[in-house]
Structure 1
Amino acid sequence: MRLIKLIVSFLFISALMLQPALAKKIPLGMLVEIKGKIEYSKNGKRWKKVRRNKFVYKDYLVKVSADSSVKYMNQETSETTQLTANSKVKVTPEGLQALEGSLWGELMPEGDCWLDCPNI
């Protein structure tokens, strides 16, 4: 009986210590208003098509094909950035990093003011 209590206690404590390791990743943003062929990749090797709103995480890559567009909504600031056709970006905690092509601009949360966004 004492051995069973010891084993159960050990398993319970082990489960508590593993909790942070099993925690889900927090998304940095979301892809919305998908038009055309938009793809994402976790490592740049295998690309998957975005069919509806998609959460994106740190170091994800997003590729926008010709005649396509998508908006990236920053989860922390709610700012929206338009990704233009023929572009590829990397999602970072600081925002989007343009690898190919350009970013159109940032739409402020109020929705009425456009700011120029330099190619990062």
Structure 2
Amino acid sequence: MLGGSDELHATLHQGVRLLGSQVITLSINYTQNVRLTDCQNGFRAIRRDVALALDLRENITTIEQEMVIKTVRRGYHLIEVPTHEYVRANGVSNFRVKDVAPRYVTSWLYYLFLWRPPRRQARRVGA
């Protein structure tokens, strides 16, 4: 959202995608006390040790919401930088909201309301 998009508002399908993205982002902002503009789109840069510590499980685009929620809940620093989404130069996206909506909702609700970071093990001093 910070950098804009050339294609986000072009079709009904893209409008539905935007609505879903905004619902997810607003719910994360409200429940996690953060102020993000977009939890679904964009480029991610992450340190290897942090990525491993997040123990990411999702294997489709739902990994974006999992990554954001786990990052915030584990206390890592998260920032947004502007990126711009240009119109696709070649081909058509095979992403269909109706095909993945149940997975998005399930993943979103699980990571937002049920998942908790594991407790850290206390280190024994002098052992």
* Superposition TM-score, scaled by structure 2 size: 0.24
Say which structure is richer in strand.
1
Higher relative contact order (CA 8 A, sep 6+): 2
Q: Based on CA coordinates, which of the two structures has the bigger radius of gyration?
A: 1
Say which structure is richer in helix.
2
